[in-house]
A and B are shown apart, each in its own frame.
Chain A
Amino acid sequence: MSAPQIHIETLPRSIQLVLLLGLAALVAFPFVGSDFYLAMVNRMMILAIFAMSLDLLQGVSGLVSLGHAAYFGIAGYVLAFVTPAGEPISLYTSLPLAVGGAALAALVIGFLVVRTHGIYFIMVTMAFAQMVFYVFFDNKALGGSDGIFLNFRPDAVLFDLENKRVFYFFTLGCLVAVYLFLRRLLWSPFGRSLAGIRVNEHRMRALGFGTFSHKLAAFTLAGALAGLAGFLWAAQTGFVNPELMGFHMSAHAIMMVILGGMGNFAGAIVGAFSFEYLLHLFKDLPQIGNFNTGKHWQMWMGLFIVGLVIFAPKGILGLLARAFAQKEANDA
């Protein structure tokens, strides 16, 4: 029914080099960029963590979740609930609480959804995320449709997260740590069995792997990492609302992973940065005559996505790898 996607799991030297250059650029950025772009790049890094967490499901295990934003949002809300009105809360209690909350939600929902396959999985993850959305949307006690403001970023004692640059480097640290952790995981026995489940779940079961528990563990871990991203998002923006766990947020995450290239986590990072940049670009388009092209950004985004599926289903890294391979072939 669904053909297996072709994956770039091992990154060619050339792409590794590009990633290192990117990291250097991210480290240097706070010293050259303006406050506006600093905040934007910070958001991009958070979304990159979010996209990587989804890639663990979508790219590695072949589980397309259309409700991943639920765990992103839940962690943000947990931070909003535990932050008192008059003082900051310690990072070392709020972070585990938020990530734990997201992981718990993912465990419970995962228990129900990982028994489904393919298209069912897509629909069911989406429906449960929508349920979570309505729980927060309908209940005034949980902030309702307006959401909740956070007056303080978490207090880290050793460093000051209220400082924009410090928060930027804290996010960058999380990004690098999550990337290295997931790359390590990809080549661990656990990661290999997840890849096996993607390729042929029946065979994996026949070989004696408990595919249910593997998938549930992956779902929970992905939820927890999405929670880390949601925690950072709430801390940065100082505001949470139900939109954070909405359908569009989930779909955007899928888009990021595809745009970059699935199954290697580096693609998810590249995709998150490119997607957010494109969104910014489209929303910022100039007025042409009496036609406001920026107001209709959804049109350009929609056409871009449709074009992407038709012309570059392997994403940016896929294109890059092909370009590099071609160059090597020409040089040889």
Chain B
Amino acid sequence: MDFINFLIQLLNSVQYGLLLFMLAAGLTLIFGIMGVVNLAHGSFYMLGAYLAWSLAGTLGSFTLAIVVGTALSVGFGLLLEKVLFRHFYHRDHLDQVLLTFGLIYVFEELRSMLWGDDVHGLQVPQALSASIALTDTLSYPVYRLFMSGICLLLALGLYLLISKTRLGMKIRAGAFNHEMTEALGVNIKLIHAVVFALGVGLASIAGMIAAPVSSVYPNMGGQVLIMCFVVVVIGGIGSVRGALIAALLVGLVDTFGKVLLPEVSGMLVYVLMAAVLLYKPEGLFKQ
């Protein structure tokens, strides 16, 4: 593999890793702070992709679609938290698995009723449709760089929110000791709602910006959910930093595996997970 090819694969793996991080961050936060395992997290990714596709069609602008789509998904997240998830924070994990598995079915059918079962493509916006020529024959699409850029910005924002703001301080306190935080007068219910909606929003944005690249299709949340589980297990549940490093690691292994060892590429990520489990059963950055 020459240097240019290596560079392209490296950029691809970083882009994939960052996209996974957007989903895994929400998953790991929701688990770390509320103790809920959410199998339906992949559905929010699908929701985002379908929202981007349908809103871009109606509103005529991809940017506007992302803004409106984000607002809609955050609202949806808040509603879902209030109606269902709130009542499951203290329930057994098994009940949570069951609830969220049932929700996967419900969301898939709602998607089918609202938007049908066809595969849809979404145009890359005009302004980002160019490619940067690397050699005479190889080039790299600007849109993929844009995706990585958005993910990096959001990751940075998430870091600042959690470690530098008052709200973030309360979130960390809530994760550390739920009862004590509440006793100190923090509205923990509000914190939970915010964290849940944040997770839904991140997953949905990931789906929206991925839509032009991956296309929009039924059950698109399932595959990505399992990858996110792998990321969360490797990174350590509850650790956002762990999720970032694990997501980049998974992105690297998956992308380079497909190029270098195509016969076993489907397995490599899981082998990585097995190796981490042998070495550290609680993940690399267990909090």
Contact = CB atoms under 8 A, between A and B. Distances in A.
B108 to A, nearest CB: 6
A306 B37 contact: no
Nearest to A306: B102
B37 A124 contact: no
A128 to B, nearest CB: 6
A88 B6 CA distance: 51
B233 A123 contact: yes
Contact of A58 (B87, B94, B233, B267): B94
A171 B192 CA distance: 49
Q: Which of B37, B87, B91, B94 counts the most A-chain CB atoms under 10 A from its CB?
A: B94
Contacts, number: 127
Q: Which of B88, B108, B273, B277 counts the most A-chain CB atoms under 10 A from its CB?
A: B277
Given A118-B93, A134-B266, A306 B226 contact: no
B281 A122 contact: no
A130 B108 contact: no
B87 to A, nearest CB: 8
Interface in A1-24: 1-3, 5
Interface residues of B, number: 48
Interface residues on A, range: 35 or more
Contact of B267 (A118, A134, A302): A134
Contact of B98 (A127, A128, A254): A254
B113 to A, nearest CB: 7
Contacts of B103: 302, 306
Contacts of A309: 88, 91, 95, 98-99, 102
A304 B91 contact: no
The 5 closest A-B pairs by CB, nearest first: A302-B105, A305-B102, A134-B266, A131-B270, A299-B109
Interface of A: 1-3, 5, 58, 64, 66, 112-113, 115-116, 118-120, 122-124, 126-128, 130-131, 134-135, 137-139, 247, 251, 254-255, 258, 296, 298-299, 301-306, 308-310, 313
Interface of B: 31, 35, 37, 39, 84, 87-88, 90-95, 97-99, 101-110, 112-113, 222, 226, 229-230, 232-233, 237, 263, 265-267, 270-271, 273-274, 277-278, 281-283
